[in-house]
Structure 1
Amino acid sequence: MKMIYQKRLLCQIKWGLFQRFRFMTKFSRICDDSSKKVLVTHESETLPIGISFWYRNDELKLDQIFNLQRSPQEHLTDVLEKISGKIQGAVYYKNRKRENFVMDELPVKMISFNYDDNACTQNDLTCHEAFVLNGSKHNLVIGEEHYCIDVNPPIVEVAEFPKVIVAGFLVNLKKLEVLFANKEDCFFKWYKSVKRFDADKVSRSKRIIEDLKWIELGEGFTCTPTKEDVGRVLKVVVTPCVGERRGEDIEVVSPVVVSAGPEECPFQKRQQFTKEIVGDNSLRVISYNILAEVYTNSNYAREELFPSCPKHALNMDYRKLLLIKEIIGYNGDLICLQEVDEKVFLRDIRPILMDRGFDGFYDAKGGEITEGLAIFFRRSKLRMLERRRVVLSEDLQNEVLFADIWQNIQRSPDLLKNFLHVRTILQVNVFESVCDPSRLLVVGATHLYFHPDASHIRILQAGMCLKILQHVITQYQMKHPDKEVSLLFCGDFNSTPESALYQFMTTQHVDSGNVVWKSKFGECVEGMCLRHELELASACGCPPYTTYTSSFHGCLDYIFYQ
């Protein structure tokens, strides 16, 4: 479903403590240097060991973070010499202009956890043995300072704000990558600056950021700035966690100020009818083509499809704010999305909906296409029993279920070539009702081929989808004869209510004499008749349009139910 009004529809950061060597992530870590801790990371045997620590010595005018990568098999003696050398080099650089400065040797050793004076037998230990396998039993001693060793604690690798923050709309980190933890287990605390900035004059200097005063906004994966926050910058403090184990806090400051949003979005009028979640014996279903980012970046999209839409409003960083607010406000139980960018699914839609009681899955189209289908379901109402991804052009050649279609398509070389080139997929999902386990629901979701002169390909794709869904229904009916099995088939069918495809869906057949089989010269389908046994109707009827562009508007999207 593509509505034109919906098509209008990072940060100054400081080098942080314990940065990952491969990613060189930028943000601020909030650390207590009195903790005297060595952070050790080792993801696998084939990767080097990361060793990071914060060394402070006022007398030597040194306050610095040290990062090393060492081979797991390197002798401990060599590692300790390397640590000592790096510190002494930094001290020399800091004090190089002092007259008569003499750098004394800085002893570095590894001792057992009980702080006795007996250093570990250095020649007999490898870096892996000392820092990883037995790290919790050892202390690193630098001069007179003892450092405990923390092996593979939860770490925030990447944390980044989006480039668009709008009052009245949810904001979450555009990028969040953690190591030795799950993003879902992180703890978030949000703040807004007391000071307001002009959007085009916001200063990003280190001193200005450090001098800002902050007001706490709340906790959770997201926050929602208000109109009162326009002109302020935001800050979030992220704490990575694994059970009761907490990693170092990091803080990220937004690179942009909160901007003013639209007074009212058109979807908010529709949401007047969806203020509450429906009862346990009902399901509210949403199907939505959210327009993948890849299809808005071309001149054709900007100049032909959406010429009246400002460039900034086609940007996904802006559109996803509107999309998420719209989807959440419908209070649906089952959400089928088309043209979903995988990164938007992983970074934005999935974590936000999971935080609101949903679970969801993404399936990319076949080939190298970077968008696909996503399905979400409310965990309190539905329990997933099975799911599968079907690439129609691949299964056509291999499944006996499609033998009649395969036989007919092979008669036209051009049709065969074009059909196998299309990477349309079908999502098949089987759910059990949580409140009534005797009720099962098979949900199919798809996005059929878009080309205007490909009606014959779309109806063949629809025929394959219904064969698959009918087969799944029959399997569950035989396996669970005491249960009721129902069907929903959702998506962007790229076909109007006047099309042969809609006739096929709702009347259960399309005969061999239908003009659809001769809709493209050179790709005629001879003697093809499609039938199915499912009694389907469109749950939303046929609205005037579900797609609206400058060149076309009409109803192309449906939720078919049995």
Structure 2
Amino acid sequence: MLTVLRVHLPSDIPIVGCELTPYVLLRRPDKSVSTDDVNEFGPVDGHFLRYKWYRIQSDKKVAICSVHPSEQATLQCMGCVKAKIPVGKSYHCSSKCFSDAWQHHRVLHERAASAVNENGNEEEELFGRFNSTGSGGLAISQSNSSLSNGTTPLYPAAVAQRNGGETWFEVGYAKTYTPTADDIGHVLKFECVVVDAETKLPAGHVNTLLTSRVIPAPSPTPRRLISVSGVDVTGHLDLDGRLSSSGTFTVLSYNILADAYATNELYSYCPSWALSWPYRRQNLLREIVGYRADIVCLQEVQSDHFDEFFLPELDKHGYQALFKKKTAEVFSGNGNTIDGCATFFRRDRFSHVKKYEVEFNKAAQSLIDALVPNAQRRSALNRLVKDNVALIVVLEAKFSNQGVDNPGKRQLVCVANTHVNIHQDLKDVKIWQVHTLLKGLEKIAASADIPMLVCGDFNSVPGSAPHALLALGKVDPMHPELAVDPLGILRPANKLLHQLPLVSAYSSFARIGAGLGFEQQRRRMDPNTNEPLFTNCTRDFIGTLDYIFYSADSLTVESLLELLDEDSLRKDTALPSPEWSSDHIALLAEFRCKPRTRRG
């Protein structure tokens, strides 16, 4: 018969909204070992597995530390209570925790009047109910009926067991369970037992495991949109929360850190539960959806995560999607974990016109065939052929084209989304990939004469040769990075140029002095490069690698998503962290189309 050999959870710290999937190892009647589920509708040798989840509620109420959510709180900041800051953010596990966090905590007090936590009212209600002394905390919430934790999503409070000073409520009958707000502060219990399919009675030992206390999902203070045009856009939101300024649209670029790269070895400073994909995907989705961008360019999206998560989830929010995964020819391993670039756009704002896919390995092979002698081709291929790609999408706007020279003309926008090679010892490859992309965009611009947006992770810091090529249209022949060119693909240096009038969107913070919060943003910019001080922040590296470039002859920047300051991130050592689930930060710009002067 079936035998359960082992049961465990990848992470024993459950988070609200993040699905728990136990690992259940079985021995089948034929002595084979498997993790495949055996349910009531497909019994094996007359037996199947039955699962139950319980919430263990102690008669003693517990508050959770806002800084260390796996710890119980021992003190509360009364300043937060008076300022009506969500009560969950007022708890700390020790006086040292409170004093260490004060530099960042006081920002909540300072911003309480002008910035409300995105889920503030809801969070205050949940924590308030949880910390009340009445019996309300024992009620099953009706607000999470969309979460299906078994064949019946909700369970009556009568289904409970008393054990000393504890009450066990049955909350799920499926193998997986998604904690709800009612679970905050409580331990969950998972039961798994082999059941006789005919009698429906247990036929073996009941396997159980207990989790740590359920913690709320950390909620960072929302990043504001800062005007750089002198127009206060923060007050012009429609009922859906999106900017309703006529003729403008927003573009988001974000390297979300593929799960395949999010290892404990690389990011040992990030708690394992916060580094797990079930947690990160929900946190990333919440962040991305919260920006409500019209166009979303994501990098490091695994192909399986695109198909199984981002595509269906963002479809619910009105987005259409296009995806280009890295080329598999230079990848060995599980094909599902190959990452790529995903571009989403709101169906009510844009329609899809055309798509171009750039595979740098194919361009590299053609170049090597033309330039490199046969004897050197193997080493040349090893150096130049990489799996990086770019996804170029031409979209047509559905909104009013205010400011366009011909209001009756179709308003097209070309959006390039790319992830350039990461290896720092292959600077010639980086330059060549960026140059190849720009020459392709030049051809599109010449044929259609449409606004250009070039977004992505270029793995190139400001002042590097790829950045110079993008921002200045050329590279100084004496640039030190051009000295590394073993294949001769960068010679002559005067060929490294393009005619696209590209400008970095975030350089507007350095060039334009209007708008709320501008001075604070100026301090987060590098005055020497007019770029952010960083878009990537790990324990071992901090710097800018991500950009949104736009064609300045056809678009103007209206506003930018505020940058983060390093001090606020260093409280968690670096990125990723429980609050921010990638090692990069998201960039977002609002653009307006302007009258065109056709390029000759």
TM-score (norm 1): 0.53
Note the aligned Cα RMSD (angstroms): 4.6
Aligned partner of 1:375 in structure 2 is 343
Letter in 2 for 1:384: H
State how far apart, in whole Å, the 2-side matches of 1:380 and 1:234 are. 44
**Do the aligned partners of residues 259 and 66 (structure 1) sit closer, same or farther apart at CA in structure 2, a change above 3 Å counting?**
closer
Tell me which of 362, 365, 369 is aligned to 2:323: 362
State how far apart, in whole Å, the 1-side matches of 2:460 and 2:532 are. 13
Aligned partner of 1:261 in structure 2 is 216
State how far apart, in whole Å, the 1-side matches of 2:462 and 2:347 are. 34
What is the Cα deviation at residue 265 of structure 1?
2.1
State how far apart, in whole Å, the 2-side matches of 1:293 and 1:340 are. 9
SS of 1:540 mapped into structure 2:
helix
**Do the aligned partners of residues 393 and 196 (structure 1) sit closer, same or farther apart at CA in structure 2, a change above 3 Å counting?**
farther
Letter in 1 for 2:381: K
1:344 aligns with 2:328: no
SS of 2:243 mapped into structure 1:
coil
Aligned partner of 2:572 in structure 1 is none
1:395 aligns with 2:372: no
Structure 1 residues 353-362 or 389-398, which shifts more?
A: 389-398
State how far apart, in whole Å, the 2-side matches of 1:233 and 1:307 are. 26
State how far apart, in whole Å, the 1-side matches of 2:306 and 2:223 are. 26
**Do the aligned partners of residues 357 and 416 (structure 1) sit closer, same or farther apart at CA in structure 2, a change above 3 Å counting?**
same
**Do the aligned partners of residues 457 and 327 (structure 1) sit closer, same or farther apart at CA in structure 2, a change above 3 Å counting?**
same
Aligned partner of 2:248 in structure 1 is 282
1:448 aligns with 2:420: yes
The alignment-based identity, stated in percent, is 24
Consecutive unaligned residues of structure 1, counting only runs of 5 or more, are 1-8, 14-22, 30-64, 68-85, 94-160, 170-186, 202-207, 216-221, 236-253, 478-484
Task: Check whether the contact 2:421–2:429 (CA below 8 A) recurs between aligned residues.
Answer: yes
Aligned partner of 1:324 in structure 2 is 285
**Do the aligned partners of residues 504 and 258 (structure 1) sit closer, same or farther apart at CA in structure 2, a change above 3 Å counting?**
same
Letter in 1 for 2:470: M
SS of 2:532 mapped into structure 1:
coil
TM-score (norm 2): 0.50
What is the Cα deviation at residue 212 of structure 1?
3.6
Aligned partner of 1:514 in structure 2 is 479
What is the Cα deviation at residue 372 of structure 1?
1.0
Aligned partner of 1:55 in structure 2 is none
**Do the aligned partners of residues 454 and 27 (structure 1) sit closer, same or farther apart at CA in structure 2, a change above 3 Å counting?**
same
What is the Cα deviation at residue 196 of structure 1?
12
Aligned partner of 1:533 in structure 2 is 499
Tell me which of 189, 202, 225 is aligned to 2:180: 225
Alignment of 1:381-460 (within 5 A): 381-398=349-366, 416-435=380-399, 438-460=410-432
1:546 aligns with 2:535: yes
SS of 2:442 mapped into structure 1:
helix
Deviations 1:89-136 (A, max 9, x none): x9xx9xxxxxxxxxxxxxxxxxxxxxxxxxxxxxxxxxxxxxxxxxxx
State how far apart, in whole Å, the 2-side matches of 1:474 and 1:196 are. 70
Task: Check whether the contact 1:290–1:339 (CA below 8 A) recurs between aligned residues.
Answer: yes
What is the Cα deviation at residue 506 of structure 1?
1.4
**Do the aligned partners of residues 214 and 357 (structure 1) sit closer, same or farther apart at CA in structure 2, a change above 3 Å counting?**
same
State how far apart, in whole Å, the 1-side matches of 2:422 and 2:159 are. 46
Deviations 1:525-552 (A, max 9, x none): 4423311110001112321110011111
SS of 1:545 mapped into structure 2:
coil
Task: Check whether the contact 1:365–1:372 (CA below 8 A) recurs between aligned residues.
Answer: yes
State how far apart, in whole Å, the 2-side matches of 1:410 and 1:308 are. 48
1:309 aligns with 2:270: yes
Structure 1 residues 487-496 or 538-547, which shifts more?
A: 538-547
**Higher RCO by CA contacts (8 Å cutoff, separation 6 or greater):** 2
Deviations 1:454-481 (A, max 9, x none): 222111101100111121222334xxxx
**Do the aligned partners of residues 508 and 269 (structure 1) sit closer, same or farther apart at CA in structure 2, a change above 3 Å counting?**
closer
**Do the aligned partners of residues 263 and 364 (structure 1) sit closer, same or farther apart at CA in structure 2, a change above 3 Å counting?**
closer
Deviations 1:312-351 (A, max 9, x none): 3222122112111111111111111111112221222221
State how far apart, in whole Å, the 1-side matches of 2:300 and 2:419 are. 8
Deviations 1:7-53 (A, max 9, x none): xx94699xxxxxxxxx9755567xxxxxxxxxxxxxxxxxxxxxxxx
What is the Cα deviation at residue 289 of structure 1?
0.7
State how far apart, in whole Å, the 1-side matches of 2:280 and 2:483 are. 39
State how far apart, in whole Å, the 1-side matches of 2:459 and 2:386 are. 14
Aligned partner of 1:471 in structure 2 is 443
SS of 1:260 mapped into structure 2:
coil
Structure 1 residues 414-423 or 320-329, which shifts more?
A: 414-423
Letter in 1 for 2:292: N
SS of 1:460 mapped into structure 2:
helix
**Do the aligned partners of residues 271 and 286 (structure 1) sit closer, same or farther apart at CA in structure 2, a change above 3 Å counting?**
same
Aligned partner of 1:96 in structure 2 is none
State how far apart, in whole Å, the 1-side matches of 2:546 and 2:179 are. 31
Task: Check whether the contact 2:454–2:550 (CA below 8 A) recurs between aligned residues.
Answer: yes
Letter in 1 for 2:397: S
SS of 2:451 mapped into structure 1:
strand
1:560 aligns with 2:549: yes
Letter in 1 for 2:356: R
Deviations 1:460-512 (A, max 9, x none): 101100111121222334xxxxxxx1111100001111212111111111244
